[in-house]
A and B are shown apart, each in its own frame.
Chain A
């Protein structure tokens, strides 16, 4: 039998160990963010937001070069992905929560989780085979589809749990006053769960916005803005994560600096989305 003193020492020791572990886990995050900011802030100038990339000789010769086409391309591809994923994800989420007895639900749940667990690169391969090959060209659209595969299962999952958190009595009340089920779902249950829905969508968006792997074989990359804005959808488009990857593995130190700056922009973009999602989680009603 240990003495009380031994037990107390052990208790304090474990507490110290827990604190230490927490610090060890969080330290790299802080270091990463600090490094990204330190390395990238210098390259974040006006040109970065207004010029196109062009060739590496632009950077080597000190001519203006930037990533305006990349930032715009990212927005287009990401929002295209969201427009594709949102209806499908919401639909599947509604099916899981509002039709709990549907025979396909167990299958849907497993398939959805499987899709969610699939490496993002496989989603890129799928979009390559389904969209790029038939279309005959790399395109922002195929990139949007690939990213929507990333968003879909997350939206479905979060929609289900957001709708499930609404008490059944609310649905009952709607049905009791003679509303059809679709009205009950759309104008009673979904508004009541709105913050959960927004949070889930934003989380899915943030997750997809940081993915580079699905875009390598779909939106492909572009050194310039397309000549026509439709080119953003029908032609190859630059996106931040994929450009960041190719800048980082390039042999030019100027491009490395631009890569760090792109990392800042990407990080801020993802973190803002994430923070907004967190903000909505806090809102109760």
Chain B
């Protein structure tokens, strides 16, 4: 390691003060090429922000950014008033709930594979978990439409609804219409889809806990679980947090499965079983449908808002990974 560091230092010194040998035309060309390609990614990301802002500017001008974000009416017919609040609320509710549902099982899987399971089993579980991230979201969507939503409606929503109707009718407005497609269904599917992200980062964090730490703890007579609770989890909390934030980012941006399952209702209030909408789902549903320029512009403005939120979440995750110096954690 140390020699590696030294060479790196030397090379850096050399690069800062390149001798004639590094100014060969081939090298100049190569550097130019590589840097151009790198810059093109920067430009692409920036152009995304500019394009979304530019296309959405008409709506943002009309309502003001905060007026747009806080507006609760989405009326593309009569008043032509567009507010993103219902979608913002839908996105935040479904993603945060999905994170809360998934985080404990996700951490448990990471602990189990890293600390308990034999190597072969850990490998299999690892692959399967990664596979969850690989299943296309439309495939999960079609399964949700034809299997999960009807099943949830018949075995969970309807019985709960009937029970509430007979014993606690005041609950009914909160529960909403149990038609199968709705906030809860979307949240459950989201929770499943983001598990791999938390698991991967948590596991990397657990792996990076020094072996000595575990041994020391064991030597004090701790049980396996106590080792995990006292010597590993506190150490890995950075990774867990970063993984959770990254998962949150995934949940916020997840589009197709949610659009297929959330029921698509653009007006507040959203209810537990009832239909709702998220920012990506409203873009999918209405982007090809929008006739009025202001409607289209408002959808782009939702895209811009989504960009800002995703940017904040990702910067926060990047900050955490840097702070806790987490390496790896690549999820497909």
Is B283 an interface position by the 8 A CB rule? yes
Q: A168-B11, A241-B136 are in contact. Are A91 and B38 (CB under 8 A)?
A: yes
Q: Is the CB of B131 within 8 A of A271?
A: yes
Count how many chain A residues have C-beta atoms less than 8 Å from C-beta atoms of the other chain.
Answer: 101
The residue that A22 contacts in the complex, of B39, B125, B254, with Cβ under 8 A, is B125
Cross-chain contact A119 with B132 (CB below 8 angstroms): no
A36 and B146 alpha carbons, distance in the complex (Å): 10
B223 touches A7 (CB 8 A): yes
Does the CB pair A101–B16 fall under 8 Å?
A: yes
| Contact between B139 and A115, CB atoms less than 8 A apart | no
Say whether B328 contacts A181, CB under 8 Å: no
Interface residues of A in 153-172 (CB under 8 A from B): 153, 156-158, 161, 167-169, 171-172
Q: How far is the CB of B140 from chain A (nearest CB, A)?
A: 7
- The answer to the question of A223 belonging to the interface, with a C-beta cut-off of 8 Å to chain B, is no
Stretch at the interface among B21-29, B65-73, B159-167: B21-29
Known A113-B318, A122-B306; contact A35-B136, beta-carbon cutoff 8 A: no
Question: Cβ of A112: which chain B residues have Cβ within 8 Å of it?
Answer: 41, 45
Residues A36 and B284 in contact in the complex (CB < 8 Å), given A95-B38, A171-B11: no
Residue of B nearest to A204 (CB): B332
CB distance from B256 to the nearest CB of A (A): 5
B318 to A121, Cβ gap below 8 A?
Answer: no
- In the complex formed, the residue of A with least CB distance to B327 is A161
Q: Is A117 an interface residue (CB 8 A)?
A: yes
Q: Roughly how many angstroms separate A94 CA and B33 CA in the complex, as a whole number? A: 10
| Beta-carbon nearest neighbor of A278 in chain B | B127
Interface size of B in residues (CB-CB distance below 8 Å): 98
Verify A168–B26 contact, CB threshold 8 A. Answer: no
Q: Mark B314-332, 1 if CB is under 8 A from A, else 0.
A: 1101100000000010101
Does B213 have its Cβ within 8 Å of any Cβ on chain A? no
List residues of A (192-246) whose CB comes within 8 Å of B's CBs.
203, 206-207, 209-213, 216-217, 241, 244-245
B208 on the interface (CB 8 Å rule)?
A: no
Asked, given contacts A88-B37, A117-B253, A260-B142, whether A10 binds B300 with beta carbons under 8 Å apart, the answer is no
Q: Would you call B41 and A25 a contact (CB within 8 A)?
A: no
| Contacts A/B (CB < 8 Å), 10 sampled | A87-B37, A88-B41, A92-B34, A126-B44, A168-B4, A245-B256, A249-B260, A260-B146, A271-B134, A274-B131
User: Contacts A35-B143, A241-B256, A260-B146 given; 19 further ones with Cβ under 8 A?
Assistant: A10-B223, A14-B228, A21-B112, A25-B105, A29-B132, A29-B192, A95-B34, A101-B16, A112-B41, A114-B311, A122-B303, A125-B55, A161-B330, A210-B138, A217-B288, A244-B139, A245-B141, A245-B260, A270-B135
